Copies of this chain bind each other. A is one copy, B any other.
Amino acid sequence: MRKGKIYFVGIGLTPKHVTLQALEVIKRVDEVYMDSYTSLLVDDGNELAKVLGREVKYLRRTDIEDKSLRDAIKKVDEGLDVAVLVVGDPHIATTHVALINELRMRGYDVEVIPGISIFCAVMTYTGLSSYRFGKPATIVFPKGGVEYGYPYYVIKDNKERGLHTFLLLELDVEKGVFMKINDAIDILLRFEERYREGVLSLDEEAVGIARLGGKDQLICVDRLSRLREIDFGGPPHSLIILAPKLHFVEEESLKVLKSEFRERCSKAP
């Protein structure tokens, strides 16, 4: 029997980021699944199924982690075409790349449809330059009492090279873990206390970002000491540690952001 085709479809950060190509694929396939745990769609509230005009079956963690996507793959074996929706871009998270490679090596016909990723959208919405971002990193909560200090050294390395650092904050939808900017700053400052390499100080300006791309997005540019006090609201949150020097166009962009979000960035939690 002819096997079906499996599409990994990036749908961006909010349902309004869905592309014409993604929509065309979603309308055409036999079944639509959604990875609902590695990331979080902003402004969803069941808007997605409405926008797509299709029923969406939500995959749980185990469906992704054991790399079987049981139901979805079974449908493909039965000759159906299947789409697996992914928040942002399907190739940004390693989980998906590994899965996609595995399926391809097992002979499946897999197509990947790009979506708007936070790695690029963060430049659009802040106006910081794509040429001035170094390696990104993810800040996670300590596990079993052990802190994962790697992001501290990524920031150090980027700063030494005059580059910004984009930091994703831990997010686990099923476990209900959503790191806030406030937590992330506490963790970074603890790293500074421990490693003492002079990488971070409470006085430096950074950019706190909540619900990027959403109707209710909030972008605050302020000193770390101030950002730590702001109520950014619901997830997802992320943070940019700025390069020591800004390009003058970037300075202007931050000035614009400060004025645009002035009122909402002055609220304490």
The range of chain A's interface size is 35 or more
Stretch from A12-20, A72-80, A178-186 at the B interface: A12-20
Q: Which residues on the B side are within 8 Å of A102 (C-beta)?
A: 252
**CB closest chain-B residue, reference A137:** B131
For this chain, the copies found in one complex come to 2
Q: List A39-59 residues whose CB lies under 8 Å from chain B.
A: 51
* B17 engages A92 (CB within 8 Å): no
- CA of A61 to CA of B30, assembled, Å: 46
| A256 CB → nearest B CB, Å | 5
State the majority secondary structure of interface residues on A: helix
Known: A17-B20, A18-B19, A134-B134. A124 touches B116 (CB 8 A): no
Q: Given A20-B51, A249-B97, decide whether A114 and B120 contact each other with a Cβ distance below 8 A.
A: yes
CB of A121 closer than 8 Å to a CB of B: yes
A115 at interface, CB cutoff 8 A: yes
